[in-house]
């Protein structure tokens, strides 16, 4: 689409092409929000990751046309209270979907499937949006240790950077007081780059 515009230097009209198609990716400083463990696509990826083993467990009770139904039941069972706990996920399948789980299914479901799917989603988000944390190791920063600490910022020092997930590892004096052997090491709070202020 072309619209006329005024060229102020020459005091004449020129045509300017306006592109109204989206860019292939967002770029900083305004990328879309970081993926979260509760995002439907993350939970679906977790369910799909465990699906082959669940199908093997179901054996002759599984019909291919039921694939989406089984995935939706797994997604419902992998709620935030059950992440990484095969027993809790199996109990949710029993309660919500009338499954008859056993220890073999608990073993299949045990593991951080949602966490792994989240790490993959965040790595894809970082790459797609060309996100590069701007602060360097040694930078003094503030951050909130948890969402419950609203309004309370904690000071600390960046000791490592996870570029693949756009996170900083931050040590605080409180952390070092509790774990003095970690001074000079790259352990600490892992904090999203967008949650840190210099």
CA dihedral 162, 168, 173, 179 (to 10 degrees): -30
pLDDT at residue number 124: 95
Tokens linked to 160? 């490592």
Q: Is the pTM of this model over 0.95?
A: no
Predicted local confidence at residue 81, as pLDDT: 82
Structure confidence at residue 62 (pLDDT): 80
- pLDDT of res. 29: 61
Task: Record the tokens describing residue 53, joined without a space.
Answer: 């083993």
Q: What parts of the chain have a pLDDT lower than 50?
A: 1-27
For the range 105-110, what are the long-range contacts, defined as Cβ-Cβ under 8 Å and sequence gap of 24 or more?
A: 105/54, 105/57, 108/50, 108/53, 108/54, 108/56, 108/57, 109/50, 109/54, 110/84, 110/85, 110/86
């Amino acid at each position: 689409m072309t619209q006329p515009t005024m060229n102020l230097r020459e005091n004449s009209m020129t045509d300017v092409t306006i592109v109204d198609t989206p860019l292939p990716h967002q770029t900083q400083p305004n990328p879309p929000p970081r993926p979260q463990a509760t995002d439907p696509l993350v939970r679906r990826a977790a369910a799909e990751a465990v699906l082959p083993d669940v199908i093997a467990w179901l054996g002759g009770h599984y019909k291919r046309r039921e694939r989406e139904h089984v995935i939706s039941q797994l997604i419902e069972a992998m709620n935030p209270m059950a992440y990484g706990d095969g027993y809790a996920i199996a109990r949710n399948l029993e309660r919500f979907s009338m499954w008859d789980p056993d220890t073999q299914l608990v073993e299949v479901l045990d593991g951080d499937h949602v966490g792994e799917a989240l790490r993959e989603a965040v790595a894809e988000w970082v790459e797609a949006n060309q996100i590069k944390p701007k602060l360097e190791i040694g930078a003094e920063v503030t951050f909130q240790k948890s969402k419950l600490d609203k309004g309370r910022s904690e000071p600390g020092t960046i000791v490592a950077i996870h570029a693949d997930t756009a996170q900083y590892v931050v040590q605080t004096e409180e952390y070092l007081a509790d774990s003095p052997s970690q001074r000079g090491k790259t352990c600490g709070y892992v904090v999203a780059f967008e949650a840190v202020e210099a």
